[in-house]
């Protein structure tokens, strides 16, 4: 102890000082300012978020960098990197001797570890600064492995301007991943951090080439690269176009950066497709009205990976609110929800594709929907109503299905319909009465390509595939084929195995939003056009504004190789779908020659279900359109207890459709004449008595300069025989189904009609 006690004490004291110093002044690895980059699925940078000093990085691991670069870097900068403890005394002595001999710095003595220490904590080139660098290098070796230190260098080395790290330099200077560097490129990037400003290849290509050649010759002299390879690399000239920062998918990048703190955010975006669609958006900008933007979304529905995300027409155009991401904005969806209600109603057994629906004027309390073209078509099939985007048939089906139930089914798959505070789902939902987002709509439309299951969008490869059933595979297949223009059944050997483009457009109230959503064999495409501030644009509608852009996007996606075309997923007919012939007006199959089959239609059926024609509330008597009557041998309608009476079932058209039918199809012509010998008893089962021509509560105005107003009111239904009309309680002269009036005085009017069965119908209106 007497001989070694002092030495031991001093050693223990030194170790304690070093340990306390390490705890008091740790390596400032975690003090690096955050800088993030959002990249495409193949690693292409989309957008960068610089740190507080404007520096941006592309984080890489050593295994993500070309081995050629690592060989050039380590053997040119620090051959003994894997063996020294952070400081190489032999390199320091050699550098000092060369400085004394030549009077100038011939080679540096810094190791890669020391360079990392200087990058983490810059210091002046003084003795004190050098000592601090030595200490930090030892700390790095103490706390981190060689691979971790090399990773720090790869991501912190300066490459000129605001670039740090070989990943950022490779993408900005060369436009490629650092894993794809050639021998020449690896040598140039290995030497560039020695003097990043003086050797920048985009500004000083001659200097960069001289430095690169020095590295190449060093690699040849050390026998690491072959002479032939080095000679070929020396022949390559260094010439680079001015560097460009990544500027793709800015709004998606902002969206993801707000959800992740990772320095590298990897997306599912296809960089080439994203670039094409951003160019398409800029080209479309000149054709759009002032202050109008657009949004586009492309999703591979086989994996639900988002391949392109265009949030605005131009992020730099403030007059068009380019900074607002319209992919996630809540807007009125117009008619794009109609395929969902028809598909759900198919599964519910309410309708089939050829069901007879009514495109007629109707009003529901204060809600009076109309069609886009302001006209009405009378009897239409479900498939025709979907293809032509007719409003009243969709409202009729939603009324039968239930708006609350409909909103709940969509909410279950993630498609929330945003309603005004305090309101509940109502019939206006199907025409855009609730707000929705483009990304959620596209995700919901994937159900038509994924056998009835809607899946969430996947923005990053790590996102799990989550899906929920919305409708049966058969219903999804039928709706998709209808939207693709293939509503008519054909044999399986004629039916295209690869589904063509199926699409649906929509226009919100006041021409504020134009929509088009489509599905081809691989992708689901969503397009929105409108003004982000919500102001209307006259003449802007889905088919005229959004559909042409959707077709352009589809053409870009279809321009693929023959091999890719062969890999497209088939869309075979599900076993639950079959072809059949049905009859109107009943909506079901009837044998040939049946008099109740007034019109025959071919259609697809789901589970061979043939639901009868859907009736609207209050249209018919309790017998509906299936009228059971008794006829005698002469064909006259008689009472059931008359001699020789035989029962007969007659299928009638829904009463409100009569104005669109030929006279021979009216129920007055379809029902047998009443027998004068044994007439049937009048019953309350007759069709209800209806009035049309004027809406209840309507306000009428005379034309300027006209002293009176001509009005015609029509009655439908009720029993046969005369009609008795009353105007404000006073009898009118007419006794048929039409009342013609010449109104001269302003005020309130009540029109009442009475049939021979005692049924009454009234309408009230005001003339100003």
DSSP output for 146-193: HHHHHHHHHHH-B-STTEESHHHHIIIIISS-GGG--HHHHHHHHHGG
User: Are 275 and 78 within 8 A, CB to CB?
Assistant: no
138 phi and psi, to 5 degrees?
-65, -40
Which residues touch 48 (CB under 8 Å, ≥6 apart)? 35, 36, 37, 38, 56, 58, 168, 245, 246
| Maximum pairwise Cα distance, the chain | 145
DSSP labels, 34-61: P-EEEE-TTS-EEEEE--TTS-EE----
Looking at residue 198, what is its pLDDT? 92
Beta carbons within 8 Å of 484's beta carbon, 6+ residues apart = 499, 500, 501, 502, 503
SS3 content of the chain, % helix, strand, coil (to 5): 35, 20, 45
Measured at the CA of 407, the angle between CA 405 and CA 409, to 5 degrees, comes to 70
Strand 305-310 versus strand 690-692 pairing type: unpaired
Instruction: Return the SS3 of 458.
Output: strand
| Distance (Å, whole) CA 384 – CA 495 | 19
3-class secondary structure per residue, 309-336: EECCCCCCCHHHCCCCCCCCCEECCCCC
Using alpha carbons, list the distances in angstroms from residue 175 to 2, 180, 246, 408, 763: 69, 10, 10, 48, 75
Q: What pTM does this model have?
A: 0.83
- Residue 308 phi, psi (nearest 5): -155, 140
Which residue is catalytic, options 66, 71, 77, 675? 77
pLDDT of res. 106:
44
CATH class of the domain whose range is 32-234: mainly alpha
In the residue annotation, 658 being an active-site residue is answered as: no
CA distances from 241 to 42, 203, 238, 356, 649 (A): 23, 9, 10, 65, 84
State the pLDDT at residue 260: 79
Give the pLDDT of residue 651: 92
Tokens of 655: 């009463």
Find out whether 406 and 341 touch, Cβ atoms under 8 Å: yes
Pairing of strands 330-331, 436-437: antiparallel
Cβ atoms of residues 759 and 722 within 8 Å: no
Q: Residue 373 has what pLDDT?
A: 67
Length of the chain: 768
Out of 312, 335, 381, 428, which one is annotated catalytic? 335
pLDDT at residue 130, rounded to an integer: 73
Beta bridge partners of 309: 297
Q: CA angle, corner 730, sides to 728 and 733, nearest 5?
A: 120
pLDDT score at 730: 83
The SS3 call for residue 628 is strand
Decide if 560 contacts 533 (C-beta within 8 A): no
For residue 525, give both structure tokens.
């495409």
Tell me, what's the pLDDT at 492?
87
Dihedral (Cα; 95, 233, 161, 112), 10-degree rounding: -40
Q: Is 335 a catalytic residue?
A: yes
| Cα-based angle 597, 602, 607 (whole degrees, multiple of 5) | 100
Q: In which residue ranges of the chain is pLDDT below 50?
A: 1, 104-107, 684
315/396 Cα distance (integer angstroms): 42
| Rounded Cα–Cα distance for residues 168 and 174 (Å) | 10
CATH 2.60.40, domain 690-767, yes or no? yes
Backbone angles phi, psi at 525, to 5 degrees: -120, 135
The token pair at 579 is 């072809």
Break the chain into its structural domains and give their ranges.
32-234, 577-606, 618-683, 690-767
| Dist CA 523 CA 500 (whole Å) | 11
Q: How far apart are CA 664 and CA 298, in angstroms?
A: 51
3 state SS of 75: helix
In this structure, what token pair is assigned to residue 624? 């509906």
d(CA 528, CA 196): 46
Pairing relation of β-strands 626-631 and 723-727? unpaired
Write down the mean pLDDT value for the chain.
87
| 516: phi then psi, degrees, rounded to nearest 5 | -155, 125
């Amino acid at each position: 102890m007497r001989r070694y006690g002092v030495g031991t004490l001093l050693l223990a004291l030194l170790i304690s000082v070093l340990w306390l110093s390490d705890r008091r002044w740790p390596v400032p690895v975690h003090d690096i300012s955050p800088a993030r980059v959002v990249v495409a699925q193949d690693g292409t940078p989309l957008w960068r978020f610089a740190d507080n000093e404007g520096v941006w990085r592309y984080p890489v691991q050593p295994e993500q960098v070309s081995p050629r670069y690592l060989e050039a870097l380590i053997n040119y900068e620090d051959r003994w990197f894997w063996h020294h403890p952070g400081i190489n005394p032999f390199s320091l002595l050699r550098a000092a001797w060369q400085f004394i001999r030549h009077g100038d710095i011939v080679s540096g003595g810094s190791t890669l570890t020391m360079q990392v220490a200087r990058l983490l904590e810059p210091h002046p080139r003084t003795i004190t600064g050098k000592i601090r660098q030595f200490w930090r290098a030892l700390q790095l070796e103490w706390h981190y492995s060689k691979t971790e230190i090399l990773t720090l260098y790869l991501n912190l080395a300066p490459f000129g301007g605001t670039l740090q790290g070989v990943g950022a330099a490779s993408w900005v200077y060369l436009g490629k991943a650092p894993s794809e560097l050639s021998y020449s490129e690896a040598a140039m990037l290995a030497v560039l951090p020695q003097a990043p400003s003086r050797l920048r290849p985009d500004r000083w290509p001659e200097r960069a080439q001289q430095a690169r050649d020095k590295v190449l010759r060093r690699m040849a002299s050390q026998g690491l690269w072959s002479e032939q390879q080095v000679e070929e690399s020396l022949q390559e000239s260094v010439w680079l176009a001015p560097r460009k920062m990544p500027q793709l998918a800015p709004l998606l990048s902002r969206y993801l950066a707000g959800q992740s703190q990772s320095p590298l955010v990897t997306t599912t975006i296809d960089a080439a497709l994203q670039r094409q669609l951003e160019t398409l958006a800029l080209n479309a900008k000149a054709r759009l009205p002032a202050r109008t933007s657009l949004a586009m979304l492309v999703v591979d529905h086989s994996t639900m990976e988002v391949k392109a995300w265009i949030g605005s027409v131009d992020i730099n155009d403030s007059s068009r609110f380019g900074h607002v991401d319209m992919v996630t904005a809540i807007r009125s969806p117009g008619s794009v929800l109609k395929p969902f209600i028809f598909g759900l109603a198919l599964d519910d057994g309410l309708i089939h594709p050829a069901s007879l629906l009514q495109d007629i004027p109707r009003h529901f309390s204060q809600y009076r929907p109309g069609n886009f073209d302001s006209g009405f078509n009378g009897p239409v099939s479900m498939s025709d109503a979907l293809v032509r985007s007719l409003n009243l048939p969709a409202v009729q089906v939603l009324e039968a299905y239930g708006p609350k139930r409909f909103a709940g089914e969509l909410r279950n798959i993630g498609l929330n319909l945003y309603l005004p505070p305090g309101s509940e789902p109502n019939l206006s939902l199907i025409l855009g009465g609730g707000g929705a987002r483009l990304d959620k709509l596209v995700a919901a439309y994937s159900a038509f390509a994924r056998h009835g299951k809607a899946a969430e969008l996947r923005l990053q490869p790590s996102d799990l595939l989550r899906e929920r059933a919305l409708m049966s595979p058969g219903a999804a297949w039928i709706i998709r084929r209808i939207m693709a223009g293939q509503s008519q059944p054909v044999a399986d050997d004629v039916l295209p195995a690869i589904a063509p483009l199926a699409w649906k457009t929509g226009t919100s109230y006041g021409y504020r939003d134009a929509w088009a959503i489509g599905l081809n064999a691989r992708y689901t495409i969503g397009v929105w056009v409108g003004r982000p501030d919500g102001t209307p644009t006259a003449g802007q509608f889905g088919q005229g504004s959004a559909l042409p852009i959707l077709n352009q996007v589809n053409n870009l996606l279809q321009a693929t190789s023959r091999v890719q075309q062969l890999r497209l997923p088939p869309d075979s007919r599900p076993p639950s779908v079959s072809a059949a012939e049905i009859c109107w007006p009943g909506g079901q199959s009837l044998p040939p020659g049946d008099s109740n089959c007034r019109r025959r239609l071919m259609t697809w059926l789901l589970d061979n279900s043939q639901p009868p024609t859907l009736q609207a509330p209050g249209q018919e008597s309790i017998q509906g359109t299936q009228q059971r009557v008794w006829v005698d041998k002469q064909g006259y309608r008689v009472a059931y207890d008359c001699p020789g009476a035989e029962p007969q079932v007659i299928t009638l058209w829904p009463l409100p459709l009569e104005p669109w039918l030929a006279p021979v199809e009216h129920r007055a012509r379809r029902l047998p004449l009443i027998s004068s010998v044994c007439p049937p008893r009048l019953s309350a089962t007759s069709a209800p008595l209806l009035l049309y021509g004027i809406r209840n509560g309507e306000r009428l105005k005379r034309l300027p300069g006209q002293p009176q107003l001509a009005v015609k009111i029509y009655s439908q239904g009720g029993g046969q025989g005369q009609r008795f009309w009353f105007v404000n309680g006073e009898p009118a002269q007419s006794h048929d189904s039409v009342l013609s009036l010449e109104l001269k005085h302003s005020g309130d009017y009540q029109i009442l009609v009475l049939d021979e069965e005692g049924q009454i119908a009234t309408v009230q209106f005001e003339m100003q």
